[in-house]
Amino acid sequence: MKLASEKSAALSDRAPVLDLPRFLTREHHRIHLVGVAGSGMSGLAALLIELGHVVSGSDKVSTMETDRLQRLGLRFDEQHRPEHAAAAELVVFSSAIKTDNPILLEARDLGKAAVRRAEALAAVMRAKRGVVVAGMHGKTTTSAMTAHVLREGGLHPSHYVGAEIPILSTNAHWDARGEWFVAEGDESDGTLELFHPEHALILNIEEEHLDFYADLAAIEKIFARLIEQTAGTVFYNIDDASTVPLCATRKNTISFGFADTADYRGTEVDLQAFSSNFCVYSHGKKLGEVVLNVPGRHNVHNAIGVVALATELGIAFDKIEKSLRRFEHARRRFEIKYASQRFLLVDDYAHHPTEIRATLKTARAVGRKRVLTMFQPHRYSRTKALHNEFGSAFDDADRVVVTDVYPANEPPIPGVSGQTIVDEIAKHGHRAASYQPRFERVHCDIGNALDVGDLVLSLGAGNIHEELSILAADLVIAEQLRAIVGETGEVRLYEPLSKHTTLRVGGPAQFWVEPQTDKAFAGLIRFCRDEHLPLFVMGRGSNLLVRDGGIRGVVVHPFGGEFDKIEVNGSEITAGVGAKLREVAYAARAANLGGLEWMEGIPGAVGGGLRMNAGAMGAQTFENVVRIRYLDSEGNPHVKNRDELEVFYRRFPLLEKNFAISATFRAQPSERAKIDSRLRESQEKRRTTQPIAKSAGCIFKNPDSIPAGKLVDELGLKNSRVGNARVSEVHGNFIVNDGGATAADMLQLIENIKSVARAKRGIELETEVEIVGDD
């Protein structure tokens, strides 16, 4: 481990020696920040702007924070350019910036001063009476809480916190009126040693950041240095095993916690869903009761430390109590992203096993039906070093979906991935943990498992909150869809379409909706029009190939209710679009009506039969249609007779922009024996000429010169395969799923067949199967 001061010196050997506190707090200069979009650097940028400097910054991405800073005066560039160093009198860089950054290289060549973020922050703090909040866990919330209590206590503190803080308005602020400066100390890269505060608040110490530190002893060494450099009082957690040895023997310390021997002690803790009540004693004397407006025993523990610090600074307890009652979480600290009577979505930054345990206990205490968790491991080195601890950290989660590791500039470590953590969770007896390597599918895995009363928790220091935000936005729409279809209808998020296609492939439907009435269907059409949402109608899923990316928008499945009804009136049979064609054939048989026996061999529903003008045994759907009822693109109902309809082979243009709701078919009176004979003929033909395996029916339209199945046979392509997609040995125009095939497998096999047909016969095959969805 290289000390932070040694690293800074190595980057600035030719640079002028600066009186950095004076340079930053008493003079005005041109300063450039490399990596300014990060939460730490953006806070420093805000401080420097308020101190009157001309501040520029660069990063690979722009964010809401860089937009805000630009409104304050930041000159921002999305590229790291050498000329930024030339224009600056001082370059400040974050720990995430590599030494070969073009701005740092140019600064060296020009002999410009370049310092780390923490070095600049420590120098700014020197201008005031500093309070550093340090620890492996909870320091962001606790430093925000400290700044808030001191501000409400009339001390006008400046502050620097590593996250967005709604109650403080910003993550960093310079207040010239006050003498105190509250800062969150970052131990991750050893720069904690750069601070020389008046007071320090030590929350906890344990193994963490093992990409930088060799072991716990190395971490304790850095904290010991901070403690040594604290001029005034060290407030320390008496309940933390690693903190006590460093602080207990030092003069001028004050302990806090739940232990009987604590100088400031918390008792009678009552944890509520989103708040906590407790009493605080100072040296055995009761100060009073506190209502903390954030949940979790760990937050109560840290709040006792804040009470201790604020009391010692002379703030009256009644002001402290009022401040804590009003305190609000920092962003990404048990932050509610969506709340309704049905569902609750919460995001938290927890990424260390200790933090995860504490956050899950807090989530469990909310009292919801289940806790579903999406977790993104942070850093390969942490995942490798703490994989055993991660295994037992999720005991309070009912279901866990783990995605791949957020690298945070680390190179991958062979054999280390999200699966590493899932394996450890399974070893500890958890039966509902799964690995999702595709980050963009995590919200789908959790969303499809949602049940009324669930709490969804996203955990991680990377960008897992983005997946929760997607789920939250989709839940808003799902609740609106639910209101349209009513209690009898069904709305599900991210329904796997492989469950609803005869091929058994296909990604998720963003919104899967099952209306039960024509009125609900019309309402869905109007809603999608008004909200600019794509709408796709799906019946029984035959003659359909859905790509692996699924279908965006609303997938309407008219199923049950009015859509499954079949009514016989004389020689006419009226069926809803959700009724199976096979059921229509047997309803006709029950009424001694013939001519529809060909429908027995088609696996789809009436809606799909109409849309594709499906056929079998030499017959086609519209040869039997008398009239159809449909909804137009505005949701208005219409009826059209057969002679008003334009129909083609395997195509019915009217339903390309409109939506069928029922059809009336004409049959002919017939003897039951003759009907049964034709049904058996259909069954026998299907049994002998079509595969039993999962398929979508015929894949290609028949060319004029030769049936597609015969062409595939003559080309020698039967039994050819891609992955688990295979051309049937029974019928060349069928592709079957041998189990576990993907849509990508199917599509590649289709392209292979088309390519061979083109090359060897000059025939351009057209697909009959409808191909939809995103890759």
In the annotation, is 389 catalytic?
A: no
In the annotation, is 139 catalytic?
A: yes
CB neighbour list of residue 773: distance below 8 Å, 6 or more residues apart: 497, 506, 507, 546, 547, 548, 549, 550, 551, 743
In the annotation, is 184 catalytic?
A: yes
3-state secondary structure of 184: strand
Per the CB < 8 A criterion, the answer to whether 113 and 89 are in contact is yes
CA dist 682 and 615 (Å) reads 12
Among the listed residues 598, 602, 519, the one whose alpha carbon sits nearest the alpha carbon of residue 558: 519
Other beta carbons less than 10 A from residue 427's beta carbon: 12
Give me the catalytic one of 112, 128, 139, 580. Answer: 139
Give me the catalytic one of 140, 191, 362, 501. Answer: 140
* Secondary structure element (H or E) that encloses residue 689, with its range: helix 672-689
Among the listed residues 582, 610, 615, 772, the one whose alpha carbon sits nearest the alpha carbon of residue 702: 615
Tokens of 354: 């200790």
Q: Is the dihedral of CA 292, 296, 301, 306 positive or negative?
A: negative
Per the CB < 8 A criterion, the answer to whether 540 and 603 are in contact is yes
Give me the catalytic one of 50, 184, 206, 467. Answer: 184
DSSP string, 365-406: HT--S-EEEEE--B-HHHHHHTHHHHHTTTTT-SEEEE---B
DSSP string, 31-77: EEEETTTSHHHHHHHHHHHHTT-EEEEE-SS--HHHHHHHHHT-EEE
What phi and psi values does residue 101 have, to the nearest 5 degrees? -60, 135
How far, CA to CA in Å, does 686 sit from each of 605, 689, 770? Answer: 17, 5, 21
CA dist 7 and 567 (Å) reads 83
Catalytic residues: 139-140, 184
